[in-house]
């Protein structure tokens, strides 16, 4: 069970004297990328290509989809441990299901320390699904929750997953970024549910994320809340036709850190609800 009290307590721990001016902010670069376990469009599995892209883009926070841990098809390696080593970032892995002698799931990377990570079970589709989150310690003293998702497969299954995601984090007062492969487009019932709870940045004209060689669908997103804690500086869908069948999404935000955003102590009791 997740309680509203738990999320509120985490926010109170996060609220330190990290800023003295309402204009203070911390710039964060966020990457969401379905890397298809390093299996490129040339039919070669090479995780170093994804690692090189991550190093070149130099993000602070990364949500990766389609990650193997010890699976035969990917050479039996722990891909998140390998990416942690190759990028120098902190890593977390969340498994969907056993697969080929290992596990198949998602991963998160963070420039900043990961204090804890949780893999929340979502309603199953054609395959089991989860929401993987990491509580990240920012250099300003605040804590931020990064959550990665990969919805699948039918619209009814994805809708159930979206509703469950909203329920899991209904009591979360921490600033939060949700990123991943939603397998759903803007205007769908799935994205409508998500956008009722998180703000979805407009990618502009070049918005299609799938496929990487002939993009015609926008199904990968980076969202955030609360809206007044984040100012989007830029969001881009990058051209990368080799590494994966998806295009990477890169967003730069100013995360506002002023003391006016600290959670009022008197709200702690009123926010205590069990879900």
- Domains present along the chain, CATH in parentheses: 4-11+25-257 (3.60.10.10)
Q: Is pLDDT above 90 for 22?
A: no
pLDDT digits (tens, 9 = 90+) for 191-218: 999 999 999 999 999 999 999 999 999 9
The percentage of the chain sitting over the pLDDT mark of 90, rounded to a whole number, equals 84
Q: In this structure, what is the dihedral angle of CA atoms 99, 105, 108, 113, given to the nearest 10 degrees?
A: -60
C-alpha to C-alpha distance for 63 and 38, rounded to whole angstroms: 14
Mean pLDDT over the full length of the chain:
90
pLDDT digits (tens, 9 = 90+) for 42-94: 999 999 999 999 999 999 999 999 999 999 999 999 999 999 999 999 999 99
pLDDT digits (tens, 9 = 90+) for 97-153: 999 999 999 999 999 999 999 999 999 999 999 999 999 999 999 999 999 999 999
What pLDDT is recorded for position 269? 33
């Amino acid at each position: 069970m997740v309680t509203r009290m738990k999320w509120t307590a985490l926010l109170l721990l996060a609220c330190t004297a990290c800023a003295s001016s309402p204009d203070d902010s911390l710039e964060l670069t966020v990457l969401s990328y379905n890397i298809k376990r390093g299996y490129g469009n040339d039919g070669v599995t090479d995780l170093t290509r994804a690692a090189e892209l991550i190093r070149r883009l130099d993000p602070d926070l990364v949500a990766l989809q389609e990650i193997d841990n010890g699976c035969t098809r990917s050479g039996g390696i722990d891909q998140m441990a390998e990416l942690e080593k190759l990028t120098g970032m902190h890593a977390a892995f969340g498994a969907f299901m056993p697969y080929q002698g290992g596990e198949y799931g998602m991963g998160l990377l963070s420039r900043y320390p990961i204090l804890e990570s949780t893999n929340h079970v979502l309603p199953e589709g054609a395959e089991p699904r989860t929401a993987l989150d990491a509580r990240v310690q920012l250099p300003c003293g605040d804590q931020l929750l990064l959550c990665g998702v990969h919805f699948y497969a039918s619209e009814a299954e994805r809708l159930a997953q979206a509703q469950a995601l909203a329920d899991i984090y209904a009591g979360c007062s921490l600033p939060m970024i949700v990123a991943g492969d939603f397998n759903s487009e803007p205007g769908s019932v799935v994205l409508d549910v998500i956008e009722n709870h998180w703000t979805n940045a407009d990618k502009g004209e070049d918005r299609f994320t799938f496929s990487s060689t002939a993009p015609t669908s926008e199904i990968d997103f980076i969202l955030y809340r609360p809206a007044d804690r984040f100012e989007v500086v830029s969001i881009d869908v990058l051209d990368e036709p080799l590494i994966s069948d998806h295009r990477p999404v890169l967003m730069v935000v100013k995360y506002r850190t002023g003391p006016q955003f600290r959670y009022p102590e008197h709200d702690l009791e009123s926010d205590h609800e069990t879900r």
